[in-house]
Structure 1
Amino acid sequence: MTISSSIANDFNDKLAVKVITGLNNFNIKQIKQMTQAAEIAGATYMDIAADISIVKELQSTTTIPICVSAISAEKLFHCEKAGVQILEIGNYDVFYAQGRFFSSKEIMQISEDIRNLLPNTTLCVTIPHVLCMEEQIKLTQNLRNLGVDIIQTEGKSTSFSKQGDLSGIIQKSASTCSSTYTISKNSNMPIISASGISALTSPISFLYGASCVGVGNNIQRLNNIKSMVLYIYEIKTAIQYNRHEKQDITHSIKTSGITYDLISSGLKL
């Protein structure tokens, strides 16, 4: 198993942050905003829909590593031929809303198809949260034997009882973190913890064995790049603080590593 050199250091250091735009999100304006914010804030890489036109647009405007997500081996194959080095089978939320669920057998078949086509490309597979924990562990082990490089966990989507409610924030990531912890104890594969992750709960994912966190919806709801940059930076700072207890995380846009001048000079807000 090998992980693309463009993201390997952050994974090895267990500091990786992935910004997710969504498997069914083809809003190029929003995708470019999120990508620009991710690059400014120093996120590890982007996760976008497996769409060739979007891939080419981002390749011409950004240097941040790109991952594409799909449930089709064919779509992933074509994106790899367009220069994408990180592929993902996953981001199932849109399908759950349609009553569509994925079995272990189906996940294994898609993974085998893409591995046969592209034996050396970095491949991540999301473990469906609808599977019982024993089946999630077994699927992870089978995927490892197949040559999958990274596992992503997910959780059941829940709504906040009110904006900013602490119990709601924790509840939203609880099942994600539970899967991360259990799988990490039964596998030595790198794990991405995604679904409901926030600045508050991202450090928990790393304490539970993750090498990376994936954040999407909490960034999408922000209406400008400046807010997106600060949110991503807040996540990175929270992760760093929980690794270095003496670090002072009291910061503002003027005192942080991302200065107001940097943001205002590079962005039209």
Structure 2
Amino acid sequence: MHSTISMAVSPSCSSQTLLKPYHNHNPLLSNFLLSSSKPSSISLKTRPSLTTKALLSSDKDSVLKEFRQRTALKIISGLLNFDKDNVASVVTAADKGGATHVDIACDPELVKLAVSLTSLPVCVSSVNPASFSAAVDAGALMVEIGNYDSFYEMGRVFSPDEILNLTKETKRILPSVTLSVTVPHTLSLPDQVKLAELLEQEGVDIIQTEGGKCSNPSKSGVLGLIEKATPTLAAAYSISRAVKIPVMCASGISVVTAPMAITAGAAGVGVGSAINKLNDVVAMIAEVRSIADSLNVSSTNRQNLSEEESLKL
């Protein structure tokens, strides 16, 4: 089973077949490539010693801070998105728009690009636990088993036993790194809750819900946006009442439904296609900012910064 999964999402294979050519017009990527031959001060500052337990503990606290405050906003570029131009735009939009986390494909070069553009915690998504270590060495502070949407289009689904095995293997390889696991919407709601409880027992830090891909709204506009988010909102409501760890509501989330997710019991939201499908980085920033404002993330972050400055004084 494990070898099959590894073959399906081998990082080397994916980066060769899915990476789009570099476009000279992208100034964000140009800056990264010009500085890539030099030591990365951001990367060194972020993770000077991977084996230092105190540092790992500090990393986890910083990653989970907004989840504990129920103000987390993670912007997702896509598990199989290896387009450096697009990833650079998504990361910049997350940083400038007021997000708290950014989630990218599990590729060390993409991680280096991300940490050169933002100080936000970088999460990498994969279904291949063996690929996580290199990404963490490159500066990722969080790993995610999930973001399965791209696999459903291939007819690939994940069973509870499979997800539990992937979780155990990831915990074995990276026992101290923040771990998020997506509970697939292909399971019935009671089975999603049961799997979430088992994942909590395995030491998972965050449960992520999904469901946007299975929803086919019959209405347009606001009604359609609410319809599209219904499956993941229902999962967030049910799972958040069954586990003590934070739940992130993702897949099909928009500026309209993000506040509903928090009301339903989520500690944060994950937003992907509403951002990464836009063609302009300015439009991406505006959309992230709208979602952040709907969650009061921006005002909360400003308040936290003011408190930290007061403590320093």
Aligned residues: 244
The CA distance in 2 between the partners of 1:135 and 1:3, in whole Å, is 32
Partner of 1:153: 209
1:127-206 to structure 2, matched below 5 A, reads: 127-157=183-213, 165-206=221-262
Partner of 1:98: 154
The CA distance in 2 between the partners of 1:160 and 1:3, in whole Å, is 39
Q: Deviations over 1:128-157 (max 9, x none)?
A: 000111211111111111111000000142
Moved more, 164-173 or 83-92: 164-173
1:235 and 2:235 are equivalent in the alignment: no
Specify the SS of the correspondent of 2:241: helix
Partner of 1:216: 272
Specify the SS of the correspondent of 2:103: strand
Letter in 2 for 1:203: P
RMSD over aligned CA atoms reads: 2.3
Offset of 1:6 from its aligned partner? 2.7
Offset of 1:3 from its aligned partner? 7.5
Moved more, 214-223 or 193-202: 214-223
Aligned partner (choices 108, 116, 125) of residue 181 of structure 2? 125
The CA distance in 2 between the partners of 1:101 and 1:159, in whole Å, is 16
Q: Deviations over 1:189-231 (max 9, x none)?
A: 1011001100000011000110110001011222212111111
The CA distance in 2 between the partners of 1:161 and 1:10, in whole Å, is 31
The CA distance in 2 between the partners of 1:207 and 1:94, in whole Å, is 28
Offset of 1:162 from its aligned partner? 8.8
The CA distance in 1 between the partners of 2:126 and 2:136, in whole Å, is 12
Q: For the structure 1 residues 166 and 141, does the alpha-carbon distance in structure 2 shift closer, same or farther, using more than 3 Å as the test?
A: same
Q: Deviations over 1:72-91 (max 9, x none)?
A: 01011221222311000000
Aligned partner (choices 112, 120, 123) of residue 56 of structure 1? 112
1:33 and 2:89 are equivalent in the alignment: yes
Offset of 1:48 from its aligned partner? 0.3
Offset of 1:4 from its aligned partner? 2.0
Q: For the structure 1 residues 205 and 225, does the alpha-carbon distance in structure 2 shift closer, same or farther, using more than 3 Å as the test?
A: same
Indicate if the aligned counterparts of 2:183 and 2:209 stay in contact, CA closer than 8 A: yes
Q: Which has the higher helix share?
A: 2
Offset of 1:2 from its aligned partner? 9.3
Unpaired runs of at least 5, structure 2: 1-56, 301-313
1:42 and 2:105 are equivalent in the alignment: no
Q: For the structure 1 residues 238 and 61, does the alpha-carbon distance in structure 2 shift closer, same or farther, using more than 3 Å as the test?
A: closer
Letter in 2 for 1:208: A
The CA distance in 2 between the partners of 1:163 and 1:132, in whole Å, is 24
Identity of aligned residues (%): 37
Q: For the structure 1 residues 21 and 239, does the alpha-carbon distance in structure 2 shift closer, same or farther, using more than 3 Å as the test?
A: same
The CA distance in 2 between the partners of 1:154 and 1:160, in whole Å, is 14
The CA distance in 2 between the partners of 1:42 and 1:208, in whole Å, is 22
Moved more, 159-168 or 49-58: 159-168
Unpaired runs of at least 5, structure 1: 245-269
Partner of 2:14: none
Offset of 1:163 from its aligned partner? 9.5
Offset of 1:186 from its aligned partner? 1.1
Specify the SS of the correspondent of 1:115: helix
Q: Deviations over 1:99-145 (max 9, x none)?
A: 11000000000000010111111000000000111211111111111
Indicate if the aligned counterparts of 1:76 and 1:87 stay in contact, CA closer than 8 A: yes
Indicate if the aligned counterparts of 1:2 and 1:122 stay in contact, CA closer than 8 A: no
1:73 and 2:129 are equivalent in the alignment: yes
Partner of 1:111: 167
Specify the SS of the correspondent of 2:269: strand
Specify the SS of the correspondent of 1:157: helix
Letter in 2 for 1:175: P
